[in-house]
Chain A
Amino acid sequence: MAQFLLETVWLVPCYALIGGLLAVPWSPGIVRRTGPRPAGYVNLIMTFFAFVHAALALRAIWNQPSYEISIPWLSTAGLNLSIDLEISSVSVGAMVVIAGLNLLAQIFALGYMEMEWGWARFYSLLGLFEAGLCALALCNNLFFSYVILEMLTLGTYLLVGFWFSQPLVVTGARDAFLTKRVGDLFLLMGVLAIWPIAGTWNYTELANWAATTNVNPTSIALVGLALVAGPMGKCAQFPLHLWLDEAMEGPVPSTILRNSVVVASGAWVLIKLQPVLSLSPIVSSAMVAIGVVTVFGASIIAIAQIDIKRCLSYSVSTYMGLVFIAVGTQQDEAALLLVLTHALCAALLVMSTGGIIWNSITQNVTQLGGLWSRRPMSGLAYIIGTLGLIGFPPLGSFWALLKLASGLWEIKPWLVGVIIAVNAFTAFSLTREFCLIFGGKPKPMSERSPEVHWPMVLPMMILLGFVLHLPLVLQSLSLLPSWASLNKNAALLLMWSSVFGCSISSVVYLSNIIPKPVRLPWKPLQDLIAYDFYTPKLYRMSIILSVDLLSKLADLVDRFVVDGFVNLVGLASIGSGERLKYITSGQTQFYAFTVLLGVGVFGMLVTWPHWGTQLLNMMF
């Protein structure tokens, strides 16, 4: 039975896809009588099947060697495209995480989307996302990874644009699509450029090729940079990070998925490509540079936000930046571990704050407060999510960060400093959000704020349990370092930075020493961080401005030069006809004159050989 489930594990993405398709009939335009709820239930059942199947298959493949399936897709002259699937404990494990988080997010959505008619659209898109992500986890082929990433980009557009009657949603969805699309297009350039060099798109073969190859450093650096640009947009790294901020306009349950899993899809491709990327030191340092800029920028921006969802979205960028640093320094395992722990904790944080938004309405943290005594479940989930995300032993991310830090301890000590600092910043921002929401005195918006009902609390509590059990799971998988090999200095530094960040933040926001709202001594700096380094303006002044001007210019050239030239031909014909008709003067004598003129000229031409040369000789 287990063997059979393992052999058919490629069905997992299909379940989700079928679930997504089955949800469609309950669109308000098709089934008009029953309401949209069955769409959600059907999807939930299919996701449950997917989760159970993947979980059983994970047990079957544990400690087994991985194997590959290759399904031929297209075979033309000189090009054989086959869908390569890799069934390994890592890929099946990733599918378990994806399906599990999707299951929880869908249960959450049962509660959150209660007063909403668009379940069919929402759930079918969630199904599409789950299918895409599971397929990406299984896919062992760069080309098909790209295909799936593009489908997910389209899915993001539709899901962010769910409530399309709101103007900010429309612009947010537009930016999410275009920004990720730009990255994907660079990725396509890299994908196409690596074919003639390596001759394969299979990740395993690419790794084998990278181990032995000896290629031109310039070309591999360019290809590597293009391959990094795709995940850079997907993972919301600087400078392609604005979309994640604006994607917070979408519904909260989809945000759970996006913050935890979807952004990690770029990281997954990046990790899979690590052997190719490490061929070029330029690419590695570029990844580290992008990562460092993003972790600092995003973690500082997260401190200065007042929107409850945007506080969290920037910490997602931060953690994806840490993944970039890990991949840039060839630490795949730390990167994978970080993706796993971040996914669970980020999902928990978004669920907790989503529950707060649901019945406190405002998303402005400065208008919330004093919820701890009345919302203990959400508060507890937030605390555990925070502690799981920052370096706080024994919870998950501590081990991931520790692995990363101890890997860098010898080779690049300054990066350890970056990680420690960013950990402190993230601890500060998450604690600040906690203190503003749950601490202090109730504000008018949070005066009466009951705990949410069970469909939202249940997945939150289940996920809370997962986060708490994650260290035990990691230990049983022997993924935790032994006491002897533990880098105790790094561990202590991480712990102290977390404690430092949390305590300073609590002192600032819970005590009355500092007047609220907190003002930095220099106002422009505070604004600079709060407005995300004015990234929208930056985009508008650079790329958008130049593309806009260029397209206007092209439009003008098209309308006036190209069209003008063709119209000129017609106008010239009309005009010459209009002018030439006056030759028909109506004077008979003029006609006689033209007849004689014609005869004369023709006669001269015909007789030219008989007298023309003599005439010329006479004249010259």
Chain B
Amino acid sequence: MQIQYFLLLSAALFCIGIYGLINSRNAVRVLMSIELLLNAVNLNLMAFSNYLDPTAIKGQVFTIFVLTVAAAEAAVGLAIVLAIYRNRDTVDMEQFNLLKW
């Protein structure tokens, strides 16, 4: 097993997340795509931690922080989605284009 495979997997996951982030019409799915991005990053961190820093495993510490911050961020994100939904009765991203030119 080599580090490249992990990195390629995490890059693929990141790209899937990007695709979902940009293309989803549902706001919740956008948040889900963000989670994918963060998890791709976590995978990266873990791989580096295992293969390059097996003794101090600073990458794993980073991962823990990212997980907790991501949880909080997702909570706030869902709160924002709910707040928008209350006002506009929809979670369609294409309806949220009021702040244009």
Residues on A facing B (Cβ under 8 Å): 581-582, 584-589, 592-593, 596
Contact = CB atoms under 8 A, between A and B. Distances in A.
B93 A588 contact: yes
B101 A587 contact: no
Best-buried of A585, A589, A596 by chain B (most CB within 10 Å): A589
A580 to B, nearest CB: 9
B97 interface: yes
Of all A-B residue pairs in the complex, the 6 with the closest CB atoms, nearest first, are A586-B100, A586-B97, A581-B101, A584-B101, A593-B22, A589-B22
Nearest to A580: B101
B93 A584 contact: no
Contacts of B96: 586-588
B100 to A, nearest CB: 3
B93 A587 contact: yes
27 contacts: A581-B101, A582-B101, A584-B100, A584-B101, A585-B97, A585-B100, A585-B101, A586-B96, A586-B97, A586-B98, A586-B99, A586-B100, A586-B101, A587-B93, A587-B97, A587-B100, A588-B93, A588-B96, A589-B21, A589-B22, A589-B24, A589-B93, A592-B21, A592-B22, A593-B22, A596-B18, A596-B22
Interface residues of B, number: 14
Interface string B21-62: 111100000100000000000000000000000000000000
Contacts of A588: 93, 96
Contacts of B101: 581-582, 584-586
Contacts of A585: 97, 100-101
A593 B30 CA distance: 13
A589 B23 CA distance: 8
Given A585-B97, A589-B22, A589-B93, 15 more contacts: A581-B101, A585-B100, A585-B101, A586-B97, A586-B98, A586-B99, A586-B100, A586-B101, A587-B93, A587-B96, A587-B100, A589-B21, A589-B24, A592-B21, A592-B22
A586 B95 CA distance: 10
Contact of B94 (A582, A584, A587, A596): A587
Contacts of A582: 101
A587 B93 CA distance: 8
Nearest to A584: B101
B99 A589 contact: no
Nearest to A585: B100
A593 B100 CA distance: 16
Nearest to B30: A589
A117 B89 CA distance: 92
A589 B18 CA distance: 10
Contacts of A589: 21-24, 30, 93
A589 B25 CA distance: 9
Nearest to B94: A587
A596 B21 CA distance: 11
Nearest to A587: B97
A395 to B, nearest CB: 96
A592 B99 CA distance: 15
Contacts of A581: 101
Interface string B74-101: 0000000000000000000110111111
B40 to A, nearest CB: 14
Contacts of B98: 586
Contacts of B24: 589
Contacts of B93: 587-589
B38 to A, nearest CB: 15
A596 B19 CA distance: 11
B83 to A, nearest CB: 15
Contacts of A593: 22
Contacts of A586: 96-101
A449 to B, nearest CB: 89
A581 B94 CA distance: 19
Best-buried of A582, A584, A587 by chain B (most CB within 10 Å): A587
Contacts of B21: 589, 592
B14 to A, nearest CB: 11
A578 to B, nearest CB: 10
Contacts of B30: 589
A582 B98 CA distance: 13
